[in-house]
Structure formats: C-alpha cells, structure tokens
C-alpha cells in the first residue's frame, strides 16, 4: 500500500509565518532577536536577516531603509557603522557580521535599563550608541592591526576571544610579527618564491628557470630546386589538332585550293593576313630546372619552459640554530610569516618544522584562527639558539609527503647552510623527488652555498643582504653565493665527482700496492 501522505497542520500556520525569518537566521541571533525590547517581533527578525546578508556582502543600507531599530536610533547607528567601516570588515565574513549584530542587540537592549536609572529617552539612546561605538572601536583597531600584519583577519566568531587577541597585540612577541611583516615587504622576490610552492595546479606563467632543451620546429626560408616539363607551342613535334594561323608550312590542303583560282586567291591572301588559315596545331615539351624560395620547418634546439605547478600545500623547515642569530633569524621569521599569510589567503595547508640540534624539532600547524595566531606569535617571539641537525625535520617532511594531505606539497628550507645530511637521508630524498615530483626550494640566509644545501635543494634563493636586517647594517662581503663551486669544485657531490671517488679502504690498498695513478673507481662511493 502506498504510504499515506503527511498533512501539515494548518491551525498554527498563521502564527508560525511570523517566525519564518528564524529559518535563515543563525542560532546565535535567535535569543537576542526574540527577546529584544525594541520594535515588533516580525519586523525585527526580518530586518536582522536583511542586515546580516548586506553586511556579509560589504554593503550598508541607508538609515531610512533600516526597519529596525527605526527612528530615532537608525541614523546614529548607521553613522557609527560608517565611521568604523564595519561593513568593510564584515565583507565575506558572515560570522563577524553575526557578532556585530549580536553586539548591537545587546547594547540597544540596555536603553530601558538606562531609563530605569533616571536617564531620559534621548540620553539613554545616546548612552547605548556610545557604548556600542566604544566597544567596536577597540575591536576594529585589533582587526586593522591583524590585517596589516597577517594580511587577513582570523576567524573571530567566538565573542570571548577578543580580549585574548587584544592582550596578544600588546605583548613583546607581537613586535616580532610586526618586524617580520616590514622585512618581507623589502624582499618581494622572496615572497614570490614562497607563493609559488606547491603542486596542486598549473601556474599561469611557465617556469623559465627549469626550461629544458627540446627540438622545436622553426620556420626558415630555403631555395628549392625541381625539374618540370614545359609545353612549347608551334615547335615541331606532336600534332594536337587544327587551329587558325598564318603558318603556310602547316596549312591544310583545303586552303591551298584557293590559290589556284584567279579570284579566290585574293581571299586566301586576306585569310592569311587575318591569321585565319586552317593549319595543323603542333607543339613539343621540354624539361627545365626551376629554383624557388619556400618556407621549410627545421628542428632547432631551444629552451621550452613547461607550466610549473603551484598552489599546493607547503612544508617549511626553518633553521633555528645559534648561527642564525641576528639578521638571519629575522629573515627566517619573515619566511614563516609570509608562508602563513599565503596559506591563509589561498586556502592552503602549511606546516612549519623549526629545527635545532639533535632531537630539537618544533612542529607548528599554521592556521589563521585565534589559536593559530597565538602559536605563530609565540614562535616568532622566540630566540634562535642551539645546534643544527637537518635529519629530524627532513624525515618528518618525507613522512608527511607520503600521506594524502601533503602528497602535492613542496618543501622550503630556510637556513644558512651550516649542516650536512647523511648519505642515506639524501638518497631517500632523491627517491621521493623522482617518484612524487617533490621540489625542495632552498632559501640561503648566509654568504655561500654549502655542500649540504646544494645536495638537498633543487633551487636556491639567496638573501644576500641578510646582515642589514640585524643589529649591524653592513653590505655583503662576498660577490657570489657559489664560492664552493668556484674555488672548491671537487668538494661537490656531482655525478662526475662521485664516479671518480673510491672508498678509503680501496684507496689505502692502492697506495700500499703503488697504484697511485691506476685506482679503479669502486661501486662503493665515498659519501
């Protein structure tokens, strides 16, 4: 049997229609909207719904369009909204728009309390408007300062987290955030490198740095030679038909009959003058060589940049050893801040591994909620010290890349290069690069590339003037970051150097045997 249709009761439909706006209003506005002392229930709920939608779109209706709270409160309330630019702050932030309306409901509901204490109606209304303005003037200052440093305002849906953020902005750790923000503005190329991390989608512009030499077809002009047969008319050869001409030698016999007649011969002469005699048509064909200029396509080696993937998750390894103190520490903190800004603006995952000596790895999940801002501020406020061990953070990054969340991530390594990876770890990293496409972007905050940094990184961005971001504002004393490659090329682990390197045991055996110049490379290469 077909199921019986459920008939909605119509007894209370008229009463329920008055509360239809509650279906679109969030629950956080239900209590204030239902129990507020100003205005009628239906107009108040529908007005709150309209205001919430327009604030989330970044627009603010004029005072006459406010159906709640109505005159005379609408005009001063709109003036406060415009003065504090609350509509701009609430744009695309529906949760913040809800918080603003909750605050307006709270303060305007205190008007009756002010009147009970002896204030007149106008004085009570002004006191409520002033309290709302003072409350959000402080909060807008917090949001403006957060936006200036972080590029975005964190999720502020929880009304009880404002005091935490206000206290955070007055802390000494927050000054490190402000300093890092000012520093990254002086390094736009570094910020561009950070934004290009990840492999989730293809970039709009091709990657010219990693272009490969491939054969492409280029158009060129060339002289082409070929033979052809040309028809030569009236050349004795093949008879093709009958034509009219003045050639007596090829004249048909019927024309010669006219010459024997005393009068018709004049006709013949006239026909010949007019080239109207019937004659045999014949021609011949000859071969000739023709030269012409034509367009040809030649394979030409040329760099062909391919679209570089970007906009994926980011894994950041930051060197926090004692050698990074000073200007290098400031640049490293700026890298972390820019990574957090880019990740939040582009909706990407970002994880930071701050490493020092053996076993000293601090893992931070960067997010732009209140807790994430607190973690970021605490990290940027810490001082760097200790030893250097790249093994721990690099192992964690490779483990993360094996998971689905970080499969399309790129790795950024910000360091002065004073470290070295074990051969086993370097081989594992090379294997992961080959199988997953992982890229390692190095940020050299030092004077020269080291063997360890060159072995791990696919590309290295050099912050040459890192000293001027610290206590001593001096220029870099070196002309190139590639000092090791220029003066000590044999120290690099290039394929050529590896092939010509033998183990220590084999070298000692060869020396004892007197084979100084005949050492055979071993399959066991020195690390």
Name which of 366, 255, 286, 254 is nearest 318 in CA terms: 366
Alpha-carbon distance 44 to 31, whole Å? 12
Name which of 527, 456, 451 is nearest 487 in CA terms: 451
Q: What DSSP letter does each residue of 199-252 carry, written as one string?
A: -SEEEEEE-STT-EEEEEEEEEEEEEEEEEEEEEEEEEEEEEEEEEE--STTB-
Cβ atoms of 461 and 189 closer than 8 Å? yes
Q: Which residues fall within 8 angstroms of residue 9, CB to CB, at 6 or more apart?
A: none
Domains along the sequence of the chain with CATH: 16-170 (no CATH), 215-304 (no CATH), 307-493 (3.40.50.410)
- Burial degree of 105 (CB within 10 A; 0-12, 13-18, 19+): buried
Alpha-carbon distance 119 to 454, whole Å? 75
DSSP-based three-state secondary structure for 197: coil
Q: Which residues fall within 8 angstroms of residue 117, CB to CB, at 6 or more apart?
A: none
Task: Please give the pLDDT value at position 395.
Answer: 92
Cβ atoms of 481 and 448 closer than 8 Å? yes
Cβ count near 87 (within 10 Å): 19
Cβ atoms of 525 and 501 closer than 8 Å? yes
- pTM score > 0.85 for this model? no
Task: Please give the pLDDT value at position 203.
Answer: 53
> pLDDT by residue for the chain (527 residues), tens digit each?
455 555 555 555 666 677 777 888 888 888 888 888 888 888 888 888 888 888 888 888 888 888 888 888 888 888 998 888 888 888 878 888 888 888 888 988 898 888 888 888 889 889 999 999 988 888 888 888 887 777 766 666 555 677 777 788 888 888 888 888 888 888 888 888 888 887 755 555 555 555 556 667 777 777 777 777 777 676 666 777 888 888 888 888 888 888 888 888 888 888 888 888 888 887 767 777 777 787 777 777 766 665 555 677 889 998 888 888 888 888 888 888 888 888 887 788 888 888 888 888 888 888 777 788 888 888 888 777 777 888 888 999 999 999 988 888 889 999 888 888 888 888 899 899 888 888 899 999 888 888 888 888 888 888 888 888 876 766 766 767 666 666 666 666 666 666 666 666 777 777 777 655 544 444 444 43
Cβ atoms of 501 and 521 closer than 8 Å? yes
């Amino acid at each position: 049997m077909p199921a019986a249709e459920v008939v909605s009761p119509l007894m209370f439909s008229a009463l329920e229609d008055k509360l239809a706006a509650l279906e679109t209003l969030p629950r956080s506005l239900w209590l204030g909207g239902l129990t507020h002392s100003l205005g009628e229930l239906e107009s108040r709920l529908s007005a709150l719904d309209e205001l919430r939608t327009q604030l989330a779109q970044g627009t603010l209706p004029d005072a006459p369009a406010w159906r709640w709270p109505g005159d005379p409160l609408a005009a001063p309330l709109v003036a406060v909204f415009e003065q504090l630019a609350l509509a701009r702050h609430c744009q695309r932030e529906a949760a913040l728009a809800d918080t603003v309306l909750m605050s307006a409901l709270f303060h305007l509901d205190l008007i009756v309390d002010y009147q009970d204490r002896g204030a007149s109606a106008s004085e009570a209304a002004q006191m409520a408007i002033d309290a709302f303005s003072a409350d959000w003037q402080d909060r807008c200052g917090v949001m403006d300062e957060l936006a200036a440093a972080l590029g975005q305002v964190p999720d502020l849906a929880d009304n009880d987290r404002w005091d935490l953020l206000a206290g955070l902005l007055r802390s000494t750790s927050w000054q490190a955030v402000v300093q890092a923000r000012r520093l990254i503005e002086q390094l736009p190329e570094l910020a561009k490198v950070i934004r290009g991390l990840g492999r989730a989608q293809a970039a709009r512009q091709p990657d010219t740095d990693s272009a490969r030499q491939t054969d492409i077809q280029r158009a060129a002009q060339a002289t082409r030679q070929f033979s052809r047969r040309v028809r030569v008319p009236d050349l004795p050869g093949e008879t093709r038909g009958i034509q009219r001409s003045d050639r007596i030698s090829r004249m048909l016999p019927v024309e010669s009959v006219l010459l024997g007649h005393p009068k018709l011969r004049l006709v013949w002469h006239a026909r010949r003058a007019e080239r109207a005699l019937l004659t045999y048509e014949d021609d011949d064909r000859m071969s000739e060589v023709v030269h012409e200029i034509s367009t040809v396509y030649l394979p030409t080696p040329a760099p062909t940049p391919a679209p570089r993937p970007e906009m994926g998750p980011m894994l950041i390894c930051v060197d926090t050893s004692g050698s990074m103190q000073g200007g290098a520490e400031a640049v490293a903190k700026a890298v972390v801040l820019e990574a957090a800004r880019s990740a939040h603006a582009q909706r990407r995952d970002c994880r930071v591994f701050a490493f020092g000596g053996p076993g000293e790895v601090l893992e931070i999940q960067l997010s732009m909620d209140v807790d994430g801002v607190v973690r970021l501020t605490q990290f940027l406020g810490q001082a760097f010290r200790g030893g250097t061990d790249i093994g721990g953070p690099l192992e964690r990054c490779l483990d993360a890349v094996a998971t689905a969340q970080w499969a399309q991530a790129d790795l950024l390594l910000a360091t002065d290069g004073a470290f070295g990876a074990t051969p086993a770890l370097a081989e594992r990293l090379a294997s992961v690069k080959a199988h997953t496409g992982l890229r390692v972007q190095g940020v050299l905050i030092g004077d020269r590339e080291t063997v360890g940094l060159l072995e791990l990184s696919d590309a290295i961005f050099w912050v040459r003037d890192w000293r001027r971001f610290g206590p001593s504002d001096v220029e870099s004393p070196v002309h190139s970051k590639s000092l090791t490659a220029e003066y000590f090329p044999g120290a690099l682990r290039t394929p050529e150097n590896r092939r010509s390197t033998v183990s220590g045991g084999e070298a000692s055996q060869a020396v004892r045997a007197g084979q100084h110049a005949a050492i055979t490379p071993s399959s066991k290469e020195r690390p």
